[in-house]
């Protein structure tokens, strides 16, 4: 019969074997403080047209509504920082997380393996795997689990590795040893606040106006991008990494070792002209396994046309 300590040690070691950078565990309980903050954020309409964030409010805050009898939330980090990135000469940019295959599938497969291995080693466990596709406040659970603090740019920051990580969760009905949160090390730094071209980050930090975020505008937002954002997109056609690029903690970022996240040579070679002349056939071929397919061809073309470096930008 394994002790709680032995079970916890097994979970963390097996997760590491599967390629997860770090694992933290917190008690599955109602998130009272987070509930107040989220309700205020929604009331201020900072979620733009992401109306799905208003749904399943209770499930986002109470893990036992997702997994009856839940006792532990296991939070995991998976590195996606690339060794190679699109050339600065391209001027048109996509977020680093989207260079390779869709992370949802890659990581969820590993989570299922981890859960199955836990069942084989520990015994019957009821639980579910989550990778950014269900009503789970992943950054808050990761913070509670000691994987980092939520920075002024509202992203989870690990003190030894930065923020270029996917987050994932296992919510299970197994009691484990719980980790404690760590302190916030943002201090007086405000580089992310000052660098954001659309002023999406609140002047005091820690609050993001999603309706102004370039990632939202190029991925979540449907229809025409408001003219008020002209000349503010800085070449981003899918997502945005500006608040991560300027964050001092990302000087510790190390390249990932996940083959599925490696960008194709064709993608790395894309010139501004290639982007502007991209056809639906090329789009389907280039992004068949990519998170970029989420925008669909028409959405990507909208973004490219909106941020393209036309004559007035090159004069």
**Which residue out of 132, 184, 202, 274 is catalytically annotated?**
132
User: Is 82 in contact with 256 (CB distance < 8 Å)?
Assistant: yes
Which residue from 183, 177, 176 is spatially nearest to 157, judged by alpha carbons?
Answer: 183
Torsion of CA 48, 170, 291, 213, to 10 degrees: 30
Q: Which residue shows structure tokens 């599955």?
A: 28
DSSP for 155-204, written as a single string: SEEBTTTBS-EEEEEEEES---PPP-------TT--HHHHH-TT--B-TT
117 contacts 14 by C-beta, under 8 angstroms? yes
Q: Which is it for strands 236-238 and 93-94: parallel, antiparallel or unpaired?
A: parallel
Measuring CA to CA, which residue among 262, 261, 260, 304 is closest to residue 282? 304
Residue 237: exposure state from Cβ atoms within 10 A (0-12, 13-18, ≥19): buried
- The Cα–Cα gap between 45 and 39 comes to 10
262: number of Cβ within 10 Å: 17
Task: Please state, in angstroms and rounded to a whole number, the distance separating the CA atoms of residues 81 and 95.
Answer: 10
Listed residue (9, 165, 185) closest to 97, CA to CA: 165
209 counts as catalytic: no
- Catalytic positions, please? 132
């Amino acid at each position: 019969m394994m002790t709680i300590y032995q079970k916890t040690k097994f979970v963390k070691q097996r997760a590491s074997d599967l390629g997860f950078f770090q694992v933290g565990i917190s008690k599955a309980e109602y998130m009272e403080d987070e509930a107040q903050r989220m309700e205020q954020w929604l009331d201020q309409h900072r979620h733009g047209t992401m109306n799905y964030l208003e749904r399943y409010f209770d499930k986002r805050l109470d893990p036992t509504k997702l997994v009856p009898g839940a006792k532990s939330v296991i939070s995991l980090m998976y590195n996606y920082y690339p060794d190679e990135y699109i050339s600065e000469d391209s001027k048109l940019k996509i977020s680093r997380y989207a260079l390779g295959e869709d992370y949802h599938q890659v990581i969820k497969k590993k989570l299922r393996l981890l859960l199955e291995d836990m069942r084989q080693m520990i015994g019957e466990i009821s639980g579910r795997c989550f990778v950014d596709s269900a009503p789970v406040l992943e950054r808050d659970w990761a913070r509670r689990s000691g994987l980092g603090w939520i920075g002024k740019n509202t992203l989870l920051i690990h003190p030894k590795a930065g923020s270029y990580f996917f987050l994932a969760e296992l919510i299970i009905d197994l009691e484990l040893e719980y980790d404690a949160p760590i302190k916030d090390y943002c201090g007086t730094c405000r580089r992310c606040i000052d660098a954001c071209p659309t002023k999406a980050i609140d002047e005091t930090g820690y609050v993001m106006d999603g309706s102004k975020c370039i990632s939202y505008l190029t991925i979540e937002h449907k229809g025409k991008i408001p003219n008020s954002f002209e000349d503010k997109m800085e070449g981003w056609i899918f997502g945005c990494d500006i608040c991560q690029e300027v964050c001092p903690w990302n000087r510790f970022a190390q390249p990932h070792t996940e083959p599925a996240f490696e960008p194709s040579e064709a993608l790395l070679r894309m010139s501004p002209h290639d982007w502007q002349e991209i056809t639906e056939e090329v789009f389907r071929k280039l992004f068949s396994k990519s998170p970029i397919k989420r925008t669909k061809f028409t959405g990507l073309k909208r973004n490219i046309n909106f941020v393209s470096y036309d004559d007035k930008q090159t004069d």
